[in-house]
Amino acid sequence: MDIHYSSEERAFRDEVRAWLAAHLPAELRDKTIGYRSLTKDDFRRWHRILAQQGWVAPAWPSEWGGTGWNVVRRYIFEEECGYAGAPPLPPFGIVMCGPVLLEFGTDVQKQRFLPRIYRGDDFWCQGYTEPGSGSDLASLSTRAERDADHYIVDGQKTWTTLAHMADWIFCLVRTDRNARSKQEGVSFLLIDMTSPGITVRPLPLMDGGREVNEVFFDHVRVPVENRVHDEGKGWTVAKFLLGYERMNTARIGTSKRELVQLKKLAMRETKDGKPLLQDTRFRDRVTRVEAELMALEITNLRFVDQLRAGRAPGAEVSMLKIVGTEIQQTLTELMMQAAGPRAQPIAPIDDDPAFDRFVAALAPRYCNYRKTTIYAGSNEIQRNIIAKHVLRL
């Protein structure tokens, strides 16, 4: 096992850093590192900058616009983007739906959807979770009844991230209520969000944001040609897609950037004239999370080395999701502790307006990050996966 970069890989990392420094718009970077909301136009702007460079879909085959990078270079690119403060592109089109179409889609579906996903013409969201059907995803009840060359879809999805911005949604629906198992009766549909019968209702969050939504389907007609893979085989597609989602939840580059921000914040003098980083207990927590982040990075590089050798990691990839999201939450907690009473949206109390704006966003961000250990399969479910498939318990 080799967890060190070669000279060529280090040169590539330097190339990516230089390109990001020259092409990442300052206003988008400032929004990202300042925890301000990104608009649909912001996402599309960065998407199209990457697409123009040919870097928006590194994992896609070269004939569809992929870079031809190996897994190590793709990993380097993702982590450098996170460290630089690039806006995280919503994964639903490029990272999720695109690979699904490449693996299971028909030629017609690929020609229709992939170029538009690549260019950023279509904005996608994911229709998986339902009320009462989250971690036990196979219990979903949204149904799709066949009517000649259409399905009639009725039901509800919830916690649908960015559905209010989306042009399309990929959905798991139940097409056979009499199947031998819950998984066998599920199909995978691509649904136009402008279809009659779709209602999107925002779900206000504790941080005041409205990034997640309820999506209601009331007799929505979906052409059968928009089904990906065979009828009743949607669970196969779902498992494939969730593997891509969980590989991208560690966000090591982003957490390394946040650790730097935390240390800067903790070095500012408190009321007693001493930086909080001089407090033994606080410094111990910072040291612990830094050590955990280093260990996570090494673990991630082990998986990358396996991919480099042609062996895809199995259920153990859940470790990245568990530890990565818990580190993200710990960093928000330490940021809150370092900022103290300033970590809330109140009137400025410091002589530095930029600093006031930064710390005022910490409390909403802390609230928002409570979700990280839930999405992409809760961490409790991930531990069960490891116990069953890795430890054989």
Catalytic residues: 245
3-state secondary structure the chain: CCCCCCHHHHHHHHHHHHHHHHHCCHHHHHHHHCCCCCCHHHHHHHHHHHHHHCCCCCCCCHHHCCCCCCHHHHHHHHHHHHHHCCCCCCHHHHHHHHHHHHHHCCHHHHHHHHHHHHHCCCCEEEECCECCECCCHHHCCCEEEEECCEEEEEEEECCCCCCCCCCEEEEEEECCCCCCCCHHHEEEEEEECCCCCEEEEECCCCCCCCCCEEEEEEEEEEEHHHEECCCCEHHHHHHHHHHHHHHCCCCHHHHHHHHHHHHHHHCCECCCCCEHHHCHHHHHHHHHHHHHHHHHHHHHHHHHHHHHCCCCCCHHHHHHHHHHHHHHHHHHHHHHHHHHHHCCCCCCCCCCHHHHHHHHCHHHHHHHHHHCCCCCCCHHHHHHHHHHHCCCC
